[in-house]
Amino acid sequence: MSVTINAHQLGRLIDKVRGHIGNEYIEVLHGIRLDVDTTHLHAVASDQYTVAAARYRLNADQQGQAPWARTIPADWLKPLREWTGAHAGADTVTITTAAGRVDFATTHTEFRVPVTDDQDFPNWRTLLRSITLHVPDKFIFPAVDSRLLARWADTSDIIRVHVTSDLKALMVFGEDFIGAQMPMRYAGIGPCEDETFEKALALWPTLDQDEENTSTPDAEMPAADDEMGTIPEMVEALLQQTLRSTTDSLGAPSTDPGAIASFALAGVNSWSAYRFLNALHQADPRLAAQTVADLAEELEAGDFSESAWDIAIKAGHDPVAWRDDYEAHLKKLAAEAAQAA
Q: What is the DSSP letter of 26?
A: S
The mean pLDDT of 45-61, rounded to a whole number, is 92
Instruction: Kindly state the helix (H) or strand (E) to which residue 259 belongs, with its residue range.
Output: helix 257-283
247 class by beta-carbon count within 10 Å (0-12 exposed, 13-18 middle, 19+ buried): exposed
Tell me the pLDDT band of 106, cut-offs 50, 70 and 90: very high
Tell me the pLDDT band of 225, cut-offs 50, 70 and 90: very low
Q: Distances in Å between the alpha carbon of 326 and those of 16, 153, 261?
A: 49, 49, 13
Predicted TM-score (pTM) above 0.75: no
The mean pLDDT of 28-32, rounded to a whole number, is 94
pLDDT tens column, 228-240: 467 778 888 888 8
d(CA 274, CA 21): 36
* Residue 11 vs residue 330, higher pLDDT: 11
Sign of CA dihedral 21, 23, 29, 32: positive
195 class by beta-carbon count within 10 Å (0-12 exposed, 13-18 middle, 19+ buried): middle
Domains, the chain, with CATH or none: 2-122 (3.10.150.10), 125-197 (no CATH), 231-340 (no CATH)
The pLDDT of residue 186:
47
